[in-house]
Amino acid sequence: MSNHKRPAASILFIFGGSGDLNYRKLSPALYNLFLDDYMPEKFAIAGIGRSQYNNEDYRAHLLDGISKFSRRKDEQNGHWDQFSQHVTYLQMDADNQAAYSKITDYVKEKEAEWGEHPNVIFYLAVAPQLVPSIAQKLGALNLCTDKNCTRIVIEKPFGHDLQSAHDLNALLGRLFSEEQIYRIDHYLGKETVQNILALRFANALFEPVWNRNYIDHVQITASETVGLEDRAQYYEKSGALRDMVQNHILQVLCMVAMEAPVSFDANEVRNKKVDVLNAMRPFTKGEVHENAVRGQYSSGWIKGKEVPGYREEKGVAKESATETYAAVKFHIDNWRWQGVPFYVRTGKHLHQKATNITLQFRPAPHFAFPSESAETWRPNRLTISITPEMDIRIRFQAKRPGQAMTLEPVDMVFNFDHQYGDDHAPEAYETLLLDVMEGDATLFMRADQVEAAWKLIMPILETWENRTPVDFPNYAPDSWGPEDADAMIARDGHAWINLSK
């Protein structure tokens, strides 16, 4: 038995209980928390859905998901029976207000059984268009006036644009107080993403050089090898900019660029992050062309397998203008970052699944070595890899062994797996679900952050929507994206950094 503190008694109601997110991510995460002794001593999980299941079938369905998607597929023995006793299925029509009495009855039942009022968490793992109506019906329950114990968790996408995000925030704000609302961005739950804060603010070494005086530019890459994966209904209306840049990438950028928080209070950290978004330079529509590039994959080959082009995927329009790749050059107008471009890119069907952040330092101010000693001389670089490796590496010049003074770049690496073994890292959803049960909102997006991020990307979205792309498809699967993205960064004398080929 471990001795860490566990959250108070909690009931989790999962709307979309028979859906994919619960099957692949939430149930495995909750089960792993249970295996690690992080679940409250008293807890209940109630999946809510329209489909017919009895408890036994529902539990079997979740176990199937766990055996396929959990990070510890083989550790179910013995513990599953215990865990599954906490899982129930409530079949209900979420459109019908009267059906919500099932929820209140269930809470009362557990209260009587446990002899205490638990945290009540509503996790909306449903299609975005269902969120307002479910939130409204939940808001009508007395239960939701309890600011301390009742919480609502909203998945992305949070709105479709600035206006819809604003409307959703306004609606939720009428029904719940901001402390009760947990807007999930699963990137913020990733170990290495959280480690950005540790690297920056738990060490005296890095902060002094973490600014425009030493850093030349920053790159953030979130490339994927997967394509559309049967998600046309969602993705056709989304595209890469909404799907990845508006949320995950901008959140990561905020962690790289934020000022030091005074404390790790949820609002203090989020204040510092929103300051970054507010300092980011919005594009005029005329500037979008030179600062943002979109792409769409063609048909082609990946690892010997033929794959269809985006426009040939099931459910995609023949002339679809949806981008499956986006690259943007951002600027942050503040003292720390003035003049330092932040290049970000993301795309489907690219050469490698890789998420990383690179800070490229300025060249050494004077070069005293003979030129032949330094043919491979490169400026310093600090890279934080989130996938596939979890590591932090610093590149610097070293002398090659031998009689000649030959310099070459070498890496100093901190690798999570080497340091802690490869079963150390909780999945992002484990961290985030535990935080919700504990009532810690630090890693969740606040209303103003979401809107600030939308505001920033609106000119790009609007410009792209008003101008039909003439060159789509413009990149091949297994490549690093469209040539225009290379040209965009090359205009500044830089190149995208692809960590491994």
Query: Catalytic site residues?
Result: 248
Report in angstroms how near the CB of residue 355 gets to ligand BG6 at its nearest. 6
Of the pair 349, 393, the CB lying nearest ligand BG6 is at 349
* Residue in 291, 355, 356, 358 binding ligand BG6, rule: CB under 6 A: 355
Cis peptide before 308 (omega within 30 of 0): no
Q: Among 104, 162, 170, 159, which Cα is nearest to 136's?
A: 170
Q: Using CB atoms, what's the residue nearest to ligand BG6? A: 243
The answer to whether the CB of 326 falls within 8 A of the CB of 346 is yes
Distance CA 50, CA 99 (A): 11
Helix (H, G, I), strand (E, B) or coil at 249: helix
Closer by beta carbon to ligand BG6, 191 or else 259: 191
Count CA within 13 A, CB hemisphere, residue 250. Answer: 31
Q: How many residues bind to ligand BG6 according to rule CB under 6 A?
A: 4
Task: Please say which residue, 6 or 156, places its beta carbon nearer to ligand BG6.
Answer: 156
Binding mask 116-155 for ligand BG6 (x = CB under 6 A): ----------------------------------------
Q: Which of 160, 154, 221, 218 is nearest to 186 (CA)?
A: 154
Distance CA 338, CA 48 (A): 49
Is 95 within any annotated ligand binding site?
no
Report yes or no: 7 and 438 within 8 Å, Cβ to Cβ.
Answer: yes
Among 243, 389, 430, 435, binds ligand BG6 (CB under 6 A): 243
Residue placing its CB nearer to ligand BG6 in the complex, 156 or 395: 156
Contact 337, 254 (CB under 8 A): no
50 is an annotated ligand-binding site residue: yes
CA distances from 494 to 297, 330, 435, 487 (A): 24, 15, 40, 9
Give the H or E element holding residue 501. none
Query: What's the min distance (Å) between Cβ of 243 and ligand BG6?
Result: 5
Q: How many residues does the chain have?
A: 501
Q: Binding residue per annotation — 224?
A: yes
**Min. distance of Cβ 123 from ligand BG6 in angstroms?**
16
CB of 96 to ligand BG6, least distance (A): 30
* 224 contacts ligand BG6 (rule: CB under 6 A): yes
Whose Cβ is closer to ligand BG6: residue 153's or residue 332's? 153
Binding mask 266-305 for ligand BG6 (x = CB under 6 A): ----------------------------------------
Angle at alpha carbon of residue 497, lines to 250 and 304, rounded to 5° = 100
Interacting residue ranges for ligand BG6, rule: CB under 6 A: 156, 224, 243, 355
